[in-house]
Structure 1
Amino acid sequence: MTTRARLTLDPAFRIAPVEPRLFGSFVEHMGRCVYTGIFEPGHPSADADGFRADVLELVRELGVTLVRYPGGNFVSNYRWEDGVGPVDQRPTTLDLAWRSIEDNTFGLNEFMAWAAKAGVEPMMAVNLGTRGVAEALRLVEYATYPGGTRLAELRRAHGVDKPHDIRLWCLGNELDGPWQMGHKTAGEYGRLAAETARALKRFDPSLALVACGSSNSTIPTFGAWEAEVLEETYDLVDYISLHAYYDPSDGDVDSFLASAADMEHMIRSIAATADHVAARLRSRKRIKLSFDEWNVWYQSRFGGESSLEWARHPRLIEDCYDVTDAVVVGSLLITLLRNCDRVGVACQAQLANVIAPIMTEPGGPAWRQTVFHPFALTARHARGQVLRVEPDSPTIPTAKYGEAPVVDATATHDPDSGELALFVVNRDRRGPCALEVTLPRGLTPVQHLELADADPSARNTATDPYRVTPRPGSGLTFQDGAATLTLPPTSWTLVRFAAKE
Structure 2
Amino acid sequence: MREKVKGLQPPILRFPGGTMVKLYHWMDGVGAKEERKRQSNRIWGGVIDHAFGTNEFIQYCREIGAEPFIIVNMATGTAEEAANWVEYCNGTDDTYYANLRRSHGFEEPHNVKYWGLGNEEAAVPDIGFLHDPHEYIKASWEFAKQMKLADRSIKLVMVGEKPEWNKAILDELHPICDYLSLHYYARSENEDYASVFNHAVAMENIIVDTKKLLDRYPARVESFDRWYRFPPRQRKIQIALDEWGIWQNQSSDDYVADMEAVFNWKEALLVASMLNVMQRQSHAVTMATFAQLVNILAPIFTNENGSFCQTIYHPLQLYREHSGNWKLSCEAESMMLLDGDGQPTASACLDVSATYHDEKGEVVVAVVNRHPEQSVSAKVSFVGTEGLEICEAIELNCPSWETVNGFDIADQVTRMAKTDARYDSDGGYGFPPHSITLLKHRYSIDKLADTTN
Q: Deviations over 1:92-147 (max 9, x none)?
A: 11122212211111111111111111111101110011112111101111111024
2:22 is matched with which residue? 76
Q: Deviations over 1:329-350 (max 9, x none)?
A: 0000000011111111001111
**SS of alignment partner, residue 216 of structure 2:** helix
Compared with structure 1, are the counterparts of its residues 316 and 158 closer, same or farther at alpha carbon in structure 2 (3 Å cutoff)? Answer: farther
Q: CA deviation at 1:496?
A: 1.4
> CA separation in 2, counterparts of 1:241 and 1:430?
37
> CA separation in 2, counterparts of 1:287 and 1:189?
18
Query: Structure 2: which amino acid aligns with 1:342?
Result: A
> CA separation in 1, counterparts of 2:427 and 2:394?
15
Contact 1:258–1:401 under 8 Å retained in 2:
no
1:413 is matched with which residue? 356
1:374 is matched with which residue? 315
Q: CA deviation at 1:256?
A: 0.6
Q: CA deviation at 1:293?
A: 0.5
**SS of alignment partner, residue 68 of structure 1:** strand
- Residue in structure 1 matching 2:61, options 101, 115, 118: 115
Compared with structure 1, are the counterparts of its residues 464 and 230 closer, same or farther at alpha carbon in structure 2 (3 Å cutoff)? Answer: same
Is 1:244 paired with 2:184? Answer: yes
Is 1:257 paired with 2:197? Answer: yes
> CA separation in 2, counterparts of 1:446 and 1:258?
32
2:135 is matched with which residue? 188
1:130 is matched with which residue? 76
> CA separation in 1, counterparts of 2:324 and 2:252?
41
Which deviates further from its counterpart, 269-278 or 288-297? Answer: 269-278
**SS of alignment partner, residue 259 of structure 2:** coil
- Residue in structure 2 matching 1:173, options 113, 116, 119: 119
- Residue in structure 1 matching 2:423, options 478, 483, 486: 478
Contact 2:91–2:150 under 8 Å retained in 1:
no
Is 1:492 paired with 2:415? Answer: no
> CA separation in 2, counterparts of 1:230 and 1:289?
12
Q: CA deviation at 1:167?
A: 0.3
> CA separation in 2, counterparts of 1:418 and 1:152?
44
**Structure 1-normalised TM-score?**
0.80
**SS of alignment partner, residue 191 of structure 2:** coil
1:63 is matched with which residue? 9
Task: Please show how residues 400-439 of structure 1 align to structure 2 within 5 Å.
Answer: 402-439=345-382
- Residue in structure 1 matching 2:243, options 287, 293, 298: 293
Query: Structure 2: which amino acid aligns with 1:470?
Result: R
2:252 is matched with which residue? 303
Q: CA deviation at 1:287?
A: 1.0
2:85 is matched with which residue? 139
Q: Comparing both chains, which one has the higher relative contact order based on Cα–Cα distances under 8 Å and sequence gaps of 6 or more?
A: 1
1:11 is matched with which residue? none
Query: Structure 2: which amino acid aligns with 1:254?
Result: A
Q: CA deviation at 1:179?
A: 3.0
Contact 1:213–1:241 under 8 Å retained in 2:
yes
2:281 is matched with which residue? 339
Contact 1:382–1:421 under 8 Å retained in 2:
yes
Q: CA deviation at 1:237?
A: 1.4
Compared with structure 1, are the counterparts of its residues 235 and 315 closer, same or farther at alpha carbon in structure 2 (3 Å cutoff)? Answer: same
1:226 is matched with which residue? 166
1:467 is matched with which residue? 412
Query: Structure 2: which amino acid aligns with 1:60?
Result: K
Is 1:208 paired with 2:152? Answer: no
**RMSD across aligned positions (CA):** 2.5
Q: Deviations over 1:222-272 (max 9, x none)?
A: 100101111221001100000011111112221112321111111012122
- Residue in structure 2 matching 1:275, options 215, 235, 242: 215
2:260 is matched with which residue? 318
Q: Deviations over 1:304-338 (max 9, x none)?
A: 5xx46xxxxx7561111111000000000000011
Compared with structure 1, are the counterparts of its residues 235 and 499 closer, same or farther at alpha carbon in structure 2 (3 Å cutoff)? Answer: closer
Q: Deviations over 1:14-47 (max 9, x none)?
A: xxxxxxxxxxxxxxxxxxxxxxxxxxxxxxxxxx
Which deviates further from its counterpart, 410-419 or 365-374? Answer: 410-419
Contact 2:121–2:159 under 8 Å retained in 1:
yes
> CA separation in 2, counterparts of 1:417 and 1:88?
48
> CA separation in 1, counterparts of 2:417 and 2:106?
47
1:15 is matched with which residue? none
**SS of alignment partner, residue 234 of structure 1:** helix
Contact 2:86–2:151 under 8 Å retained in 1:
no
Contact 2:391–2:419 under 8 Å retained in 1:
no
> CA separation in 2, counterparts of 1:289 and 1:105?
32
Contact 2:398–2:412 under 8 Å retained in 1:
no
> CA separation in 2, counterparts of 1:277 and 1:417?
36
Q: Which residues of structure 2 form unaligned runs of 5+?
A: 224-233, 445-453
Compared with structure 1, are the counterparts of its residues 147 and 315 closer, same or farther at alpha carbon in structure 2 (3 Å cutoff)? Answer: farther
Is 1:197 paired with 2:148? Answer: no
Is 1:396 paired with 2:337? Answer: yes
Contact 1:136–1:196 under 8 Å retained in 2:
yes
Q: Which residues of structure 1 form unaligned runs of 5+?
A: 1-54, 215-221, 309-313
Q: Deviations over 1:420-443 (max 9, x none)?
A: 111111222242211111244454
Q: CA deviation at 1:282?
A: 8.9
Identical amino acids, percent of aligned pairs:
30
> CA separation in 1, counterparts of 2:197 and 2:404?
17
Query: Structure 2: which amino acid aligns with 1:354?
Result: I
1:387 is matched with which residue? 328
1:48 is matched with which residue? none
Contact 1:422–1:496 under 8 Å retained in 2:
yes
1:348 is matched with which residue? 290
Contact 1:444–1:499 under 8 Å retained in 2:
no
Which deviates further from its counterpart, 401-410 or 162-171? Answer: 401-410
Query: How many residues are paired up?
Result: 428
Compared with structure 1, are the counterparts of its residues 297 and 469 closer, same or farther at alpha carbon in structure 2 (3 Å cutoff)? Answer: farther
Compared with structure 1, are the counterparts of its residues 186 and 303 closer, same or farther at alpha carbon in structure 2 (3 Å cutoff)? Answer: farther
1:93 is matched with which residue? 39
